């Protein structure tokens, strides 16, 4: 039996994760950047969760995006950490809502405003195609739907793609009245 040498963990030793070894490039298959719910548990939160509690949960979990579900577990929307900002909450308070009564359902992007990509379509695309689609549509994230079985199969996030590729790219959202109002009042 051998006795192995023990070493100190030095400052130059860095923590790695699976994405550090996958060799993902712009030409890699698009399915490489799908968080596929056949293999990963969906990152969900209840629509009735208070906005304050949701922000704390997402910060603690270091999660930027959650699928919002109703009491039956059906997706009713998406919530991004930015939608839970103090500014977003104060905007609701300014319109008469009580801070304690503001829930995830008040701030989320509702299901009918969520964009989706077809799983079947993604089988024949690469990551560059996905980035181009996100940039041209102004979408930071979208769900992936299996159109044959009518299942919400996964999610794609521009932020996750950028992190995996170790590149920076921006997705410009078309300006809305709310963005213009926020810019003027800032």
Residue 119 sits at the vertex; the CA angle it makes with 54 and 82, to the nearest 5 degrees, is 25
DSSP conformation class of 124 = T
Distances (CA, A) of 163 to 24, 66, 140, 182: 11, 18, 13, 28
- Per-residue confidence (pLDDT) for residue 175, from 0 to 100: 55
In CATH terms, the superfamily for domain 25-172 is CBS-domain (3.10.580.10)
- Per-residue confidence (pLDDT) for residue 161, from 0 to 100: 92
The SS3 call for residue 168 is coil
Task: Please tell me the pTM assigned to this model.
Answer: 0.79
R_g of the chain computed on alpha carbons = 20
- Per-residue confidence (pLDDT) for residue 19, from 0 to 100: 65
- Per-residue confidence (pLDDT) for residue 184, from 0 to 100: 52
Q: Please write the tens of the pLDDT for every residue from 50-82.
A: 999 999 999 999 999 999 999 999 999 999 999
Residue with tokens 């997402």: 58
Q: Which of 85, 81, 154 is nearest to 114 (CA)?
A: 154
């Amino acid at each position: 039996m051998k006795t192995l040498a023990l070493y100190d963990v030095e400052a130059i030793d860095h923590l790695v994760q699976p994405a550090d070894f996958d060799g993902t490039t712009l030409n890699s298959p698009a399915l490489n950047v799908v968080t596929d719910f056949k293999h990963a548990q969906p990152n969900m939160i209840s629509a009735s969760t208070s906005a304050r509690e949701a922000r704390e949960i997402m910060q603690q979990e270091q999660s930027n995006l959650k699928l919002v579900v109703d009491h039956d577990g059906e997706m009713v929307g998406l919530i991004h950490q930015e939608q839970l900002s103090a500014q977003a909450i104060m905007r609701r308070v300014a319109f008469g809502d009580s801070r304690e009564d503001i829930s995830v359902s008040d701030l989320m992007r509702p299901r009918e405003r969520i964009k989706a990509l077809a799983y079947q379509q993604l089988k024949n695309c690469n990551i560059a195609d996905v980035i181009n689609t996100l940039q041209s549509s102004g979408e930071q994230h979208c769900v992936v739907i299996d159109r044959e079985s009518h299942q919400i199969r996964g999610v794609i996030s521009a932020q996750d793609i950028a992190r995996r590729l170790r590149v920076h790219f921006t997705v410009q959202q078309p300006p809305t009245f709310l963005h213009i109002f926020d810019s003027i009042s800032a």
